[in-house]
Chains A and B, each alone.
Chain A
C-alpha cells in the first residue's frame, strides 16, 4: 500500500483540532521553514519537488511562485482557491473538513515563501460548514502563536482570513476569483497582466488550489527531491482523486501518480469496480470539463499501452483518443447510463455557469443545451449532431477564460466517441425517451468483466 503524504492521519480522532494535529507532527513544516530556511529556499524546494497545480491546469507550482513580482513597498498576496465546483471533484471539501490544519500549515509556509503578510482562503459560499471549521482552526493556530505577529519569534507576521464566495463556478478561475474577492461580479480578467504581476487590488498575487497548498507541507518536511521520487516522470508526488458516479466505493483516495487505471478502478483498496455488478461504459477522468472516454480507450491507449493515472498517460493520444488529469474528479458511468442525457446535463451546467462576458460562451452554451435537450427528448434531427460539433468549435479558444473550452470539450468528445448513440436518439426518438442505448461495441473488450 502506497504511503500517504497528505491523508496519513486522516482517521486519527480529533485530527481537526490543533493539539491532536500538532501531536502527530503537525506544524513541523512551519517550524522548519521559518527557523531554518529563507523564503527563497522554500520556493527552491517546491521547484525541486516538481509539484504541479492540483486545481486542474497542472502548471508547476514552484515556477508560478518564482514569477511573482516583488516591487519594493508593494504588498503581495497569496490566495487559496477553495472554490471547488468542478462536477466530479470533491477532494478539497474533504481536506478542509477533516484536515483544516494541514491547509493552514501549508498557507503559512507558502505565504512565508512569497512574502505575503495577508492571505485569504476563498471558499465557495455553499461550503458554510467548512468555512466554520476553517475559522475555528485559524483561531486555534493564532492562539498558539502560529499566526499573527512575529510567528515563532521569526519576525514574520501573517494574517489569514476565510472569504466566502456567493455561488458561482466561474470563480474557480483565478482572475474571476480575485474579482469576486474584491467584491465584484466574477468576470474573468484578460491576461496579461497575470496575477503574479497585477492580481488582488492590483498587487502581485499567487492563487493556488487547496491541494497544492497542502502538498507544500510534505515537500518541506521531506525535501523537494524526496517528494519527487514519488510518482512517475513529470507527474511527481501523490494526487487526491475524487471517485464518484457508478463506482462501488465512491470517495476521496490519495494515489501515487502513475498508478495503473485498472488498479485504481478495480482494486478493493480504491474504487472496487463498478457498483451492482454492472459493466463500465465510459469514464470522465478529471472533472466534467475533460473529454469523456469510452471504457476501452480509458483502460488502454490507442497503441494498446495500459493507461496510468498520471498527467502524461491520461493525455496520451491528445483529444482524439486521450483525456486529461484535470482536477482529479473521476466519474464512472455504468452500462445503464445515457451519454446523450449526461452530455445535456453537463451542457446545462456550463450554460448556467457562464458569466456572460464573452458572446461565444454566453450564447454557445445555451445553444448546446437546447440542441442536446432536443436530442435527449427524441425531437432531434441528424444535422443537430454536426451542429453541436460546429457550435463547440466556435466556442473553443474564443473566450477570455477556459470556461468556454470546458463547455465545448465534453460535447465534442461525447460526439467523437459515442456518435452512434446520438444517431440512435435521432432515428429512434420515441424509444430513446423510454430506454437507454446500452453499452455497445465501443466498450468491448472490457477487462475483468464478471457476469452476474
Chain B
C-alpha cells in the first residue's frame, strides 16, 4: 500500500514556469537519461504544492516518460518527500546521537508542548508541523533543526530560541 493521503489529492497543474525549471534540470543529463531529473523535480513539486500527491507523481511520470510506479517507489524511499499535507512550516529536529548528547530530546519535548501537536501532526491553524529526523550533519552545532521548504538551518537551540523562532514564523505568516 502506498503511504499516500488522497483526501486532498485534487488534480494538479504544472505552471509553464515550473515546467521550464524541469526542462533546465533535464538538460543536465545525457540524451535518454532524463529519469535522473526525478529527485530534483520532486523537490520542486514539493516546494510548489507543499507535499507530493499521487496526481502530482503521475504528472511527473508523464513528463519524464516513465511509469507511475517508478515515481512512487522513489518518492516513498527518500525521507524528504511528504506523502501527506504538512504545516506551512515543517520543523525537522535532528534526533541522532551527537545532538542528543547536547539536549535534542528536550528540545523536541519543548516543541511538542509549545505547538500542542504530536510528532507528524499539523497545528489547527495549518502553520506548523514537526518531526524528529536522522543526522543532519551538523553535530558540532547541536541541537539543530531545519525548516522546509527553504531548509533554513538553526543551530545551538535553546527553549528560548525555539520560542523566538516560532513567534517569528507566526509573524511572517500573518504578513
Contacts and interface: CB of A to CB of B under 8 A. Distances in A.
Interface of A: 75, 84-90, 92-93, 118, 120, 124-129, 159, 161, 163-169, 180-186, 201, 242-246, 250-252, 288, 329, 331, 333, 337, 341-342, 345-346, 349, 352-353, 355
Contacts of B97: 87-88, 288, 331, 342, 345-346, 349
A252 B101 contact: no
Given A331-B97, A342-B97, A244 B77 contact: no
Interface string B120-160: 00000000000001111111111000100011110000000
B88 interface: no
Nearest to A166: B78
Contacts of A333: 101
A85 B39 contact: no
Contact of B134 (A120, A159, A245, A349): A349
Contact of B33 (A87, A201, A331): A201
A166 B139 CA distance: 20
B33 A244 contact: no
Contact of B139 (A124, A331, A355): A331
Contact of B74 (A163, A183, A201, A337): A183
B40 interface: yes
23 contacts: A88-B98, A89-B137, A125-B78, A129-B151, A163-B36, A166-B77, A166-B78, A167-B78, A168-B77, A181-B36, A182-B36, A185-B73, A186-B77, A186-B78, A244-B98, A245-B139, A250-B141, A252-B140, A288-B97, A341-B100, A345-B97, A349-B135, A352-B134
A180 B150 CA distance: 22
B96 A125 contact: no
B146 A242 contact: no
A342 B152 CA distance: 27
B74 A184 contact: yes
Contact of A129 (B36, B78, B140, B152): B152
A182 B35 contact: yes
A243 B98 CA distance: 10
A245 B135 CA distance: 13
Contacts of B38: 183
A168 B79 contact: yes
Contact of A183 (B36, B138, B139): B36
A201 B35 CA distance: 11
Given A129-B152, A166-B81, A244-B98, A87 B135 contact: yes
A54 B16 CA distance: 43
Interface in B1-57: 28, 30, 33, 35-40, 42-43
Given A125-B80, A166-B77, A246 B139 contact: no
B139 A90 contact: yes
Contacts of B77: 166, 168, 185-186, 355
A346 B139 CA distance: 14
A333 to B, nearest CB: 7
Interface residues of B, number: 43
A168 B77 CA distance: 8
Interface centre among B33, B73, B97, B102 (most CB of A within 10 A): B97
Q: Which 6 A-B pairs have the closest CB atoms?
A: A166-B78, A250-B140, A167-B80, A244-B139, A183-B38, A128-B151
B79 A345 contact: no
Nearest to A353: B134
Contacts of A185: 73-74, 77
B80 A93 contact: no
A174 B80 CA distance: 20
A127 B96 CA distance: 17
Contact of B140 (A90, A169, A180, A337): A90
Q: Which of B40, B78, B137, B142 counts the most chain A CB atoms within 10 A? A: B137
B101 A337 contact: yes
Contacts of A342: 97, 100-101
Nearest to A253: B140
Contacts of B81: 166-167
A87 B136 CA distance: 8
A92 B150 CA distance: 20
A165 B146 CA distance: 16
A167 to B, nearest CB: 4
A231 B88 CA distance: 50
A167 B79 contact: yes
Contacts of B36: 163, 181-183
Contacts of A251: 140
Contacts of B141: 90, 250
A292 B66 CA distance: 45
Nearest to A181: B36
A201 B31 CA distance: 11
Contacts of A180: 39
Q: Which of B42, B74, B134, B146 has the most CB of A within 10 A?
A: B134
Interface in B52-76: 64, 66, 70, 73-74
A163 B42 CA distance: 12
Given A126-B146, A186-B77, A331-B97, A92 B137 contact: yes
B129 to A, nearest CB: 16
Contact of A90 (B78, B101, B138, B152): B138
B150 to A, nearest CB: 7
A128 B43 CA distance: 10
Contacts of B28: 120, 159, 161, 163
